[in-house]
Structure 1
Amino acid sequence: MTVSRKQINFLRGWPTPGLLPTTLLSSASQRVLANQDEYTKMQEYGSCHGVTRLRKGLADWVGSHYGVTPNLERICITGGASQNLVCILQCFSDVNYTRAVWVVAPCYHLACGIFEDNGFAGRLYAVHEDDEGIDLETFDRQLQEFENQDKPNRDLKPFKQPSVERKLYRHLIYTVPTCSNPSGLTMSLSRREGLVRLARKYDGLVISDDVYDFLQWPLTAPVTPDRSAEMRLPRLCDIDRSMGPSDNDSRGFGHAVSNGSFSKMSGPSVRTGWAEASPPFITAIARTAATRSAGAPSQLCAAMLADVVENGQLQRFVDETVRPTLQRRHRLMMDAIDRHLSPLGVKARTSSLNGFETFGGYFVWLDMGGEVSTTFLAQVLKAEENVIIGHGQMFAVHGDEKRTNFTNSARLCFAWEAEQDIVDGIERIGQLLVRMKQNREHYLRLASTSYNIH
C-alpha cells in the first residue's frame, strides 16, 4: 500500500508553472488577434515553411547566440521536436535503404518509440558515451562492423519512390548533444566535429535535439544574458555547414539537422519548434505531404511566438526568469544530494561540460551504487516514500539494452516540483537508502523474489 505522504514526482520533465510565460503569450495573442490583416493571415493555412516573422526572428536570435550568419532559408517552423522527428523520418529514411538507427545512450526514452513507429523496431543500436560525449573510436568500429555484416542488404531497393527533392540516408544517428536528457552531459567540441565526420563517412544523418541549448547557466556565478563560450558550442548542423559539401551528398542536403523547440521556454502547449539545416533539407521537411495538405504547423502559436521573439520579450524572459530559476532549483537539488545521498555513496554529475563550471537542462543523473537495481529501488521508493524517479534502464535503447547498462543509474528532474519538495524528496530517498542498509537481508530477499511491490 502506498504511504499517505504527499507524492513527489522527480520523473515528470515538465516546467513548473512559474516558468510559463503566460502573461507574455496572453499579450501577444491580443496583439496578433487585434489586427484583421494579421489574424486573417495567421488563421489561414499559411506557408509550408511557417510564419516568416518567426523564421526571421529565430534566424537572428540563433545566429547571434552561435555566431553564425542568419539565414531564414535554413529554418522552417515545426509542430515541436517530436512531431518534426516524424517528418524527418518521413522525408529522409526508408525501411529498406536506411539500415540502422544509432542512439546515444542513455537516451531520451520516448524517442525510441518514434523510430519504432516508423518501421525501425529491432534496428536501434546503442552508442556509448563517456564524460566528453560519444566514444568516437568505438562508434566508428561499430559502424564498420555493421557495414561488413550488412553487405547482403546493400542493394535492397528503397521502399519509397526516389525523389530529387529528398535524400535517403543509410544511417540515422540520434543525439541530444547539449545538456542531454537524461544524463545532463554536453558533448565536447572535438567529439561534435568527429561525429559529423563519421556521419559523412558512412552516409549518415545526425538528428540533433537542441532543446536545451538556451537553458544553460554558470554553477556559481550570477546568471546574465551574456554566455561564455562553453555555453555556445556550435551545433552539429553548423559544424556540418562549415565543412562544405561531402562526397556522397552532391545535392547539398548535408548530414546534420538541428531539431529545436519552444516547449522548455514558453510551455509545452504551444507545440511549436523549428528545424535548421541546409536549404534543400529544410525545403524537403516543409513540403512533406501532411504539411502541404494542412499548411504550416502551429500557425497561430507561431504568430504569437513571432511577436515575443521579434520584440525580445521571450529572450529576456529566458535570461531573467527561466535560467535563474533553473539555476536555483538545480543548486537546491545538488545541495540536498550532498547532504542526504553523497554520504551513502551516491554520485551525481556536477557539470554538463567536462572541465567547465556550467550546467543546463532539467535533469540530474545519479549513480546510485548499491546491491539492487534502480528499477527495484524506484518501486520501493514509490511504495514506501511516495517518491517517483526515473530508473536507469528506462533510458536504455530499445532492443539493445545489454550494450549499455544503467541498472545503477537514475534520473531526477528539478524543473517540476515545488522547491521545498525537491529538498524533501531527496531527503526521503536518503531515508530509504538508510533503511535498506539497516535491513539489507529483507530488501535483498524482496528484490530477488518480485518487483511487484504493493
Structure 2
Amino acid sequence: MSTTHKQINFLRGWPSPGLLPTHLLSSACQRVLANQDEYTEMQEYGSCHGLTRLRKGLANWIGPHYGVTPDPERICITGGASQNLVCILQCFSDVNYTRAVWVVAPCYHLGCGIFEDSGFAGRLHAVPEDDEGIDLPIFDRKLQEFEKQDKEKRDQKVMHPADIVYNEYRKLYRHLIYTVPTCSNPSGLTMSLGRREGLVKLARKYDALIISDDVYDLLQWPLAAPVTQDRQAELRLPRLCDIDLSMGLSDDDPHGFGHAVSNASFSKLSGPSVRTGWAEASPVFISGLARTASTRSGGAPSQLCAAMLAEVVENGQLQRFVDETVRPTLQRRHRLMMDAIHTYLLPLGARTRVSSLNGYEIFGGYFVWLELGSESSTKFIADVLKTEENIIVGHGNLFVVHGDERSAIFDNSIRLSFSWEAEQDIEDGIRRIGQLISRMNRNREHYLQLASTSNMS
C-alpha cells in the first residue's frame, strides 16, 4: 500500500528549531570575534584542558545544581559526548587488559559501535533494568560468573608498556560500564539514588569505570506543575561521579582516578552543531583525559565554540534559555504525546511509563518508550508504518546490545521522540499509529501473511 501522508519522524532525537538558541550564539560569536587579543587566543590551539572561562562557568553552573563544590579542576572541555567517549576508551581501557564492556539495556543504539570501533566487538554484555534502573543483583551475578570464566586469561600481556597500566596520568580498568542514568535514551527511565550508590560500589568491587552519559540531566520537568528555575531534589539526583568521589579512595586506586566519569554535552542545550561538551570526574582522571594524544596534538577541542558558550554561560543567558524555553517546550511536547498515547494507543493495549523516576511526578529527556502489546514484532510494525503511514519510529530491537542481543530482547517496544517534529504533528502521528494498529487487528490474516512473505518481519 503506497501513501501520500506527510512524513512524521519519531526516530530523530534532534532538538527542533525552536529549541536552538541561535540568537544567543550569534551575538556571542560577534562579541568573541570583536576583540583581536581575545579572538587570536580563541583561534589558536588552546590548553588541553579546554578554555578556562568555560570550565569555570560550567563549575559555577553545574556545582550548585548537584550540590557539590564548584571545581574547574574536575572539568575538561571535549568535542561532545560521542567524541569524548572515544578519548575515554583510548586513555583508560585496553583491548587486551580490559575484559568486558557492560551496557544497560535497552541502550543508546549508536553507542555500541563506538565500543566496537575501539576493539571491543564481541565483548559487549547487556545488563537489564527494572523500574528503578540497572538491576544490581543480576549485574553482580553476571560479573561473578564472568570473572570465574575469565580467570585463565588474566595474565595476557597488555598492548601498552607496563608503566602505562597505572601511572600518573593513566589507569586501565578491567571492566567498562556504559549507562544513561538520567532520562535514559531510549527508555526514558531515571536511575534511583539507591541504584546509583549500589552501581558505584559494584564498580569499585570489580575495578570498573562507569561511563555515565549525562546529556539530559538539565532537561527535566515536573509532570503537572509549571517549569521554574528552582528544581526539587528529585530533579537533581547526584551524578555517579559525585557519588564515587564522596566515597573517597578505593583500595585499588591509590592515585585517586575514581570509578566514574560524567560525559556531558551542549548538543541538547545549544544545538548539536557546536560539537562541544565536557567531562567531569576526579582531578586526576581529568588530567589524564586532557592528555589524550589527539588533544595534545590538536589542542583543546571546539576552542572557538567553547568561547561562544563561555559568553552565554558566564552571563547566565544559556541557563535562562534552558529554564524559560527548552524545558517548558519539552514539557509541552511530552504532554501532547502522552495525551495522544492515552487517547489512541492505550485502548489498543499499549503501555508506557508515566514518570521517568519511580515514585515521583517528573519526566525529562527526549523520548517515550512504548510497549505496544501486539502479536507482531515492532520491527514489522515499524516497516508497515513507514510504508503505509509514512511514519518513522525506532523499533525495540534497534536498542539491543550488539553481540548480546538474546540477553535483552525488545520485540514489543518502540521509542518515540517528541523533540523534533512540529507540535501539531505529534498528535497526528500518534493517531495514525493507532489507526494502523487497529487496521492490523481488523485484518489480522492479511498482515500475518504479509509478515510471512516479506522482508519486513
User: Could you list the per-position Cα deviations for residues 397-418 of structure 1 after superposition, in whole angstroms to 9, with x for gaps in the alignment?
Assistant: 0011110110000000000000
1:215 equivalent to 2:213? Answer no
- The answer (yes or no) to whether the contact 1:9–1:388 under 8 Å persists in 2 is yes
Residue 194 (structure 2) aligns with: 190
1:303 and 1:370 map into 2 onto residues whose CA distance is 50
1:451 deviates by 2.6
1:102 equivalent to 2:102? Answer yes
Write out aligned runs for 1:313-352 (5 A): 313-352=317-356
1:67 equivalent to 2:71? Answer no
1:240 and 1:170 map into 2 onto residues whose CA distance is 17
1:363 and 1:66 map into 2 onto residues whose CA distance is 23
- The answer (yes or no) to whether the contact 2:384–2:456 under 8 Å persists in 1 is no
1:373 equivalent to 2:390? Answer no
1:273 equivalent to 2:277? Answer yes
Residue 142 (structure 2) aligns with: 142
Residue 44 (structure 2) aligns with: 44
1:451 and 1:408 map into 2 onto residues whose CA distance is 18
1:409 equivalent to 2:413? Answer yes
Match of 2:171 among 163, 167, 172: 167
Residue 420 (structure 1) aligns with: 424
**Structure 1 residue matching 2:405: 3-state secondary structure:** coil
- The answer (yes or no) to whether the contact 1:2–1:382 under 8 Å persists in 2 is no
1:298 deviates by 0.2
1:404 and 1:447 map into 2 onto residues whose CA distance is 23
1:40 and 1:276 map into 2 onto residues whose CA distance is 28
Residue 22 (structure 2) aligns with: 22
- The answer (yes or no) to whether the contact 2:78–2:84 under 8 Å persists in 1 is yes
Q: Which runs of 4+ in 1 moved over 6 A?
A: none
User: Could you list the per-position Cα deviations for residues 364-392 of structure 1 after superposition, in whole angstroms to 9, with x for gaps in the alignment?
Assistant: 00001110100000000000000000000
- The answer (yes or no) to whether the contact 1:101–1:172 under 8 Å persists in 2 is yes
1:436 equivalent to 2:440? Answer yes
2:336 and 2:54 map into 1 onto residues whose CA distance is 35
**Structure 1 residue matching 2:183: 3-state secondary structure:** coil
**Structure 2 residue matching 1:405: 3-state secondary structure:** coil
User: Could you list the per-position Cα deviations for residues 184-205 of structure 1 after superposition, in whole angstroms to 9, with x for gaps in the alignment?
Assistant: 0000000000000000000000
Residue 275 of structure 1 aligns with an amino acid whose one-letter code is A
Mark the runs of 5 or more structure 2 residues left unpaired by the alignment. Answer: none
**Structure 1 residue matching 2:110: 3-state secondary structure:** helix
Residue 301 (structure 1) aligns with: 305
1:390 and 1:412 map into 2 onto residues whose CA distance is 7
1:449 deviates by 2.6
Residue 252 of structure 1 aligns with an amino acid whose one-letter code is G
Residue 385 (structure 1) aligns with: 389
Residue 202 of structure 2 aligns with an amino acid whose one-letter code is L
1:177 and 1:31 map into 2 onto residues whose CA distance is 37
User: Could you list the per-position Cα deviations for residues 274-325 of structure 1 after superposition, in whole angstroms to 9, with x for gaps in the alignment?
Assistant: 0000111101111111100100000000000000000000000000000000
Give the TM-score normalised by structure 2: 0.98
Residue 156 of structure 1 aligns with an amino acid whose one-letter code is Q
**Structure 2 residue matching 1:30: 3-state secondary structure:** helix
Identity fraction in percent: 79
1:37 and 1:209 map into 2 onto residues whose CA distance is 36
- The answer (yes or no) to whether the contact 1:379–1:451 under 8 Å persists in 2 is no
1:452 deviates by 4.0
- The answer (yes or no) to whether the contact 2:379–2:456 under 8 Å persists in 1 is no
**Structure 2 residue matching 1:381: 3-state secondary structure:** helix
Write out aligned runs for 1:70-89 (5 A): 70-89=70-89
Match of 2:183 among 179, 183, 189: 179
Match of 2:361 among 357, 363, 371: 357
User: Could you list the per-position Cα deviations for residues 12-58 of structure 1 after superposition, in whole angstroms to 9, with x for gaps in the alignment?
Assistant: 00000000000000000011001111101000000000000000000
**Structure 2 residue matching 1:378: 3-state secondary structure:** helix
1:444 deviates by 1.2
Residue 94 of structure 1 aligns with an amino acid whose one-letter code is D
Residue 133 (structure 1) aligns with: 133
User: Could you list the per-position Cα deviations for residues 109-142 of structure 1 after superposition, in whole angstroms to 9, with x for gaps in the alignment?
Assistant: 1000000000000000000100000110010000
Q: CA RMSD in A?
A: 0.8
Residue 217 of structure 1 aligns with an amino acid whose one-letter code is W
Residue 208 (structure 2) aligns with: 204
1:250 deviates by 1.2
Higher alpha-carbon deviation: 247-256 or 442-451: 442-451
Residue 338 of structure 2 aligns with an amino acid whose one-letter code is M
- The answer (yes or no) to whether the contact 1:369–1:408 under 8 Å persists in 2 is yes
1:4 deviates by 1.4
1:69 and 1:264 map into 2 onto residues whose CA distance is 25
1:234 equivalent to 2:238? Answer yes
User: Could you list the per-position Cα deviations for residues 311-353 of structure 1 after superposition, in whole angstroms to 9, with x for gaps in the alignment?
Assistant: 0000000000000000000000000000000100011111100
1:446 equivalent to 2:450? Answer yes
Aligned length: 453
1:2 deviates by 4.1
